Each structure stands twice: as C-alpha cells, then as structure tokens.
Structure 1
Amino acid sequence: MGAAARPTTMRRHAAAALGTLLLAALTGCADDGAPAPTSTTATPATIASHAPDVLVSVSSTGGEGSPAPGVPDVEVRADGTVFLRTDDGLGVATATLSGDGLAQVREAFAPVSMRQADYADSDWTDQPTTSVLSTLGERPASISVYGFGHDDEVDDPDWDRLAAALETLDDLAAAATPAAYRPSTVTVVLSPVTEPGRAWPLTPLARLAQGWTATGQPCVLARGRDVATLQEIATHEGREGLVWAGLAVDVRPVLRDAPSGCAAAPADGIGIGWFHRVRLAPAPHRPTPVEAWRAAEAVEVAASAATGQEPPEGQLSSYDTVWSAGGAGRHRWIEVRATYPAQFRDDRPDVPTTWRVRVDAATGEVRALEVEGADVRTASRG
C-alpha cells in the first residue's frame, strides 16, 4: 500500500468515523504472537454483505477517506477462487488457488489479531480505513484499521502481522496468473449532474428498477447484454468520469454469489446520502431514487438561497421531513415539508422553522418555495 498525502494538522480519528467499509476478521492473537483463545464476532450485517463461501475479504476506503470503490481489494473463497480489484476493464480479476495455496492463506493469517482493540489508529486525518472479514476462525470475525499501511509513524506489531498476511495474499494471487473477471451482474450507481453527457447506453432507465445503495445513492442493476455493453465501455473509455443522460455513473461489479448492494427502500421511507432519512406521506406515486436525490439537492439550494443560510447551517438532514409526490406523466412533482425540531429552536433561532418546497420530479426545477421562521423572511417562487 502506498503512502497517502498528509495534511498539515493532526488529530485522533476513530476508524468508525470514516464511514466504514466492509469489515475485518480472523483468528486473534496477543502481542507476543500467540493466538488468542477467542476471536471477535462479525456483525450479522457484515456477514450478510458477503457471499456465503468467503474465507477472507479485504477492503479499503479510497485515498484520504473517500468512499469505497464497492469491490474488495482482495477476496478468497472456500473453493480457492481469488478476486482482485484492478484498474482494467470492469475492475476485477480472478485467479484460482490450489489446496496448498489455501493452506498458505490459513497459515499466513494464524498470527493475525482479530481483536479491534489490538490495533493502533493513525493520528493523521483523512486516511483510508482497511477492513477485513474472515471465516478462518471458529466463527466469522471482523476488524477495521484506520490509516493502515499509510502512516509509517505507527509502530504496531499487529499492523506488521496483518501487512505480512496481506502480502502473502498478493504473492499467491500473482503466482496464480489472474485473468479478467466477467460478472453476471453489475451495480450502476447514479448521481444527477448538470451536464448531459452521452446518451444512456443501457436498457432504458425507465425499464430498470431503481434502488438504493447502503449509503443512500440511487442505483440500478445491469445484467445480460448490459454487462457486455459496460465491459466494452470500460475497455475503451474507462470507468472514471462517465456521464450518461445527466447522470454521473459509478460501475461496481458484483462478485459471484455476493449481494448486489442495490436494494429497494422500505415502503414508508427513503434514504438519501449518509444523512437524509425521510418519511413518505401517502401519495399517488413514490419518487424514484434518482428523482428523490435530485429533489433533495434542489430543496437545499433553494432554501439556502431564500434564507441566506449556508447549506451546512440549514441542511435538510437537520430537519424532520415528510415527502409526498403527485401529478401524472410529465407533470409529476415532489413536495418536501421540513420542520426544524422544536427542542433545538431555542439554541438556533437563526434557522428556518419550516420549509415547503415543490420540485419538478423530472428536472429537479423548483416550482414553489415557502420558508418560515422568526428571524428569516418568507419567500415564494412560482
């Protein structure tokens, strides 16, 4: 792992605060290298986010704490299959380990501690988090290490043991001659943007069921011919900076038997980004994830402009919100009613007490806006 760029200031950072990725796990050990009697237990959610035959899965956030790429750095399955994240094609290569290779994996991880408390965190800000899930012990276990491999000032024998185990995985995979992996399913994560980009190249978006990622981003699942199309685009155009029909696109291959990471929202609510968890009022139709994402951005920009508040001072996530949708055909709309919680108003008399914003579902254009509060003006737009 290469060293990440460092900011000029330092402060202690909890690994969990970086929007943790997957997770880590294996057999535990004490500082003297002897295996610990028990290992930590991976949470049910962690286990469910992987295929059932995983032996070891290692993931990391992007550089300087940016979101995860959605594909493990390296993953070993019980049948000897190895998946590797790459920069080529759709971003995954695969190899196969022999029985001896699997034995070397077990041996490499035997001295690795799977107790979270054994790992020191980096004191530098904006570092990635490396997470490991393993079923090599008596039960699945997981750890997440902030700044792992990127801070050479950390002197921690448990870092060294984990680094040695991961180096063994890399060496075994390289010796097995990886080849490009063609997934049967690809998760396509969508973010509305202002530039139109190229025409949508896959099955028409209206015919694809939209869902949400765990971090609240709109997504669809590509299968069949769409996967072949994505493979061709990735080979000739790459996977970075793709914009199709006004949507920035993030392509995430789904490994064999693993969950897609794109699921329908609960019937009574939707999640938008890390913080927006909003309640749906009864309505003729539900906004699609793309519509909801676009509307959330439009609501925050419009309310901030009307009140003179910077977005961080009055962002939608600070409010109790109820969403509804109506209209038909090209005239559908989304309305957001946001109320600042009464228990916080004495502390923040400068923020609006309520917002009501109606947004065109297709374009994200604000059709009507009302903002009320003791110290802010009321505004409306047609």
Structure 2
Amino acid sequence: MVNLARCFHDIWSQGASRLGFPVYEASEAEITQQAAQTWTLQARGTRVLDNALEHRINPACPATLDMCWQDVSCRELHHTLLTGDDGMVFLANGRHLRNCPSLRHHPDRKIRRPLHFMAQKMKEPCFYLAGRNYENHGHFLLHHLPRLMAAQNSFTEMKQPKILLGNRVKRWQERYLAAMGIQAENILRAGAGTTHVESLFYAPQIWTDTALADPEILHKLRCAFLTHSQFSHASAASQAPVLISRADAPDRKLLNEREIAAEVERQWGTCEVLELSKLDFATQLRKFATAPLILGALGQGFANLLVASGALCLILDTEEQWSESYFSRTFRDLALMHGNMAARLFAGRSIQKREHWSYPLPKFKQELATATALWKQHRSLAPSP
C-alpha cells in the first residue's frame, strides 16, 4: 500500500506539473486567519561571535561574525493535509505552506500534491516535526528539534500533542526525542501519500538569516542532551582529543585519516578516533562534552558540537579557497556559540559530490600547531571558574 500511494501521488504531481498547474502558496495573512491559536517560539535577536582563530589562520576571514535570527510562531491549524515522505503541509483549501526557510529553493515538481480520496485520517492533536531533510542527522538536530524544544513549555496549552514525524523511518530519530523526554508511544508518523490531520500545531524551521536558531533555545537543547547522557565534569580532565572518523561513511571518506590522527598524537600526545555508528548516543555526548580537541572531515557527526565546551574544534573541508561552505560554516558557528575556539580548514581543491579525498598533511601540521598555540594562549588568559 505504501508503494501504491507513492505511485498514485507521483503520477498526479508529475502530471499536474507538466501541464502547468501551479502549487498555490498560502500567504502569511491566510495562515494567520486559518490559525485557531498562535504561540511565539522565537523572538528576533542578534549576537556577535568571536572568530579570532579562523581569522588568525586566514586573515581574509572576518574576526567577528554577526549572527541573527527572526520571529517565528507556532500555529494550531485544523484539517491540514500532509503529503509525501517529508510531510509537505497544505491548508484545508489546498494551499501549500511554503513559509519554511528549507523550501526557499525547493521546486514545485518535487512536492507531492494531496489526493483527498486516498487520505489517511489522524484525529490526535499533533506537533509537526517533519519537513525537508528531517531524515538527516545534522538537519534534524539543528533545524527540526529546536522548534520542539521552543514549544515544550506550551504543550499543556496545546493539549499534549503527539509528535508527528514524516514517513521516512530512521531509528536514531527516536533516540534524539528520548533525550528530550519524548516517549515512543507519543511519536506518530505520517503516511507516504496524503495524511489528514484534524489538529496540527505547525511551525516552520526556526533558522532564518543564520542557519541556527536562537542560542538560548539551542542552550536548552544542549542541557537536555547533557542530562540524558549523565554527563559529569569530573571526567573532563582525563578526556583525550577526538577525531570524528568517516571510515563507516558511504561517501566523502578522508583517505589519510590515520595520518591526520598520527599528527594529532604527535602534537597532543594522544588521539581517539571515533566511529560514531559504533557508539550509543549518551557515550557520544560525553566524548564531545569533555574533549579538549575535536576535529575531522566535514560530516553530520559535527552536530554533536552542540555539547562541546571550551574545546578547540577544527573542521576539515574541501574547496579551493575559504568559501562560505554551508554546513562547515554552521558547525563552526555552533562551536563558537558555546565558548569553543573553532575554524574551518580547507584542503585547497574541489571534489566531486561523493568523492573520497585527502587533506594535505604538511598544511595540516602547520594549521594544527597554530591553532593549538592560540587555544592554549586563550585558555591561559581565561578567568578561573
């Protein structure tokens, strides 16, 4: 039935797109008018981040970074229709909610259109936690979970809704939700075709101009994760530097990962190589919360920088120059936000999308030495706790 639903919806959506029938977008005024209730999840604000390390390694990079975020609301909407594996949202009148920043460049041809006669019924009140890329670790943790964290104080007023995920099942989604106190019996999944939800509490992803939410919201998420991991400051002194391995990744493996780890060992005395797929979530969090140095090739494992504190964080990336690579920039900002020193290190060559690659070892030796010296100087000048 799942494949049949997908097939019918794809035929309908592709046919409508080829015939020139547009996906009509709901205006902000229309969404507000349809809302039974509205809650503020995020109020606009700004923060300046200290980018001294990256500026030191490459003076062309700014010494400070301006972070900003906008007002975001959650609304109770009745008789919405969700479509596809991601859970695209339509109002009862068939207009698409395109006010999420993840949909800015999403083409109409990739949006499954609702089919009322095939709709599954969902009568429980639901909080929306689906949308584009919710099946990706980094996006789920940094773009989806913050709106749930921001809304939890209003759950009583929202009638204790179930958490509604999209149709694509990833086992790790439940572990993130468990870390926030959400039990498995309170998690529902939309169908692969059309799902009719009687009462949906909907908010777009709450990153806007900056690819991260309000730091206060992320701090609450960080505290929830640390509590879940049973983190203890007593273990921090003995923790080793960690290198996030991509040996278990399907693509973009760092071919000279062992050489990079050996250089860390030479300069720092030790290095623990972490294959995150072999560690439970609580252990991952404790490793990241206590490591003095965190580095590795760009990948979703850097989302765990949410719990790092006072560390030196180095993100190895490709590209020919110091471009504003989207996710390496996001992970850098996430690290800086919580009092770490962080920098992106670029290999100086572009690669194909899924190509394995190597980081130039002589370049890394110099960059690691520079970064380590600046981090030690910063720590010596920091006030005692």
TM-score over 0.5 for the alignment?
no
Name which structure has the greater RCO, CA cutoff 8 Å, separation 6+: 2
Whose radius of gyration is greater, 1 or 2?
Answer: 1
Structure with more helix by fraction: 2
Structure with more strand by fraction: 1
